[in-house]
Amino acid sequence: MSGMKAKSIKSVITRKMNQWVETIEDENLRSKVAKSIVVTGGCIASMLQGEPVNDFDVYLRDYETAVAVADYYVGRFTPRAKNGIPVPLFVDADASAKRVKIVAKSAGIAREEGTSKPYQYFESHPEQVGEEYVADVMDRPDQIMDAHEETEQLALQTATDGKPKYRPVFLTSNAITLSDKIQIVLRFQGEPDDIHANYDFVHCTSYWTSWDEELVLKPEAMEAILAKELRYVGSKYPVCSVVRLRKFIARGWRINAGQILKMAMQISALDLTDLAVLEDQLTGVDTAYFLQLIEKLKEKDPTKVNTAYLVEIINRMF
């Protein structure tokens, strides 16, 4: 299927975000969120290519709104009990560092009560046909919609499982996953350029903003998408960038040796035997993905954690 036009993408995101915001019951928070949304990442690139979108990655423009959103959804979340004991949740906010974390004690990740569906990590997005995605996001599961049908109205969805739409179903320290393809990333806030300072590949840097409802398609991102070529722009989390390569290569993207060398150069400056450094690198995308590895390392005397030990643990776990 050919990719969607910019006008269609803008319409889909605008209406999707409006749907979600309308479900926020706190009127004051709803007003703040409506003026603070940045949608960026792979969803726009996927729509441009006519490929399925796993989640709309949502970031917030300011720290205070991010904290309030975290508090709101933690307060409305019923975690599935672990060994019969409810998982305690709380928001850990550090104003000086503008860091927002959701802490699930002894769990790392919290699932909605009654949820048996496994958590979909960033690195394991399922592949589906583009037509199915468009029908789903436009709430028309009974028919396949033309991706260029730009005037199509996006109706508010009706729950098929008897549960509210846009409710929290998974919580990690890094993100809140809502039903209906919304993922709120808490780790970073700010203007689009501030958020993209943490990104790795240029094709993911186009964005939509709620305060002006504008879609910005960056020329360098469009060029990379047309060539289906991964272009590494540098990241605070180069280890995660290497892990993410698997997903893109499986989808037919190419990467040249120079881009991989840039990642290797950044990784070489890191001491991955330092647990704090390793944990920070592995949570650059998603805490849950390497949760077991981190927990295992925390049980070990830090002075005994070296490269050989790390390799042994990784081999056992993977």
CA distance 31 to 138: 24
- The reply to whether 188 falls in a domain is yes
* pLDDT for the residue 98: 87
- The reply to whether 285 falls in a domain is no
* pLDDT for the residue 150: 31
- The reply to whether 140 falls in a domain is yes
Shortest CA distance to 202 belongs to which of 38, 7, 45, 59? 45
- The reply to whether 255 falls in a domain is no
CA distance 316 to 293: 10
How would DSSP label each residue in 91-107? EEEETTTTEEEEEETTT
CA dihedral for 176, 281, 38, 103, sign (positive or negative): positive
Residue 68 reports pLDDT greater than 90: yes
pLDDT tens figures, 70-117: 999 999 887 766 666 666 788 888 888 888 888 765 545 555 655 544
CA distance 171 to 28: 23
- Mean pLDDT, rounded, for 124-143: 37
- The reply to whether 195 falls in a domain is yes
Residue range of the domain that includes 112: 6-227
CA distance 285 to 236: 11
Domain tally for the chain?
1
- The reply to whether 241 falls in a domain is no
Shortest CA distance to 87 belongs to which of 191, 170, 178, 181? 170
Comparing 267 with 139, which gets the higher pLDDT?
Answer: 267
Percent of the chain with pLDDT over 90: 41
- Range name among 42-51, 81-90, 179-188 with the lowest pLDDT average: 81-90
- The reply to whether 267 falls in a domain is no
- Range name among 171-175, 198-202, 232-236, 271-275 with the lowest pLDDT average: 171-175
- The reply to whether 171 falls in a domain is yes
Residue 166 reports pLDDT greater than 90: yes
* pLDDT for the residue 210: 97
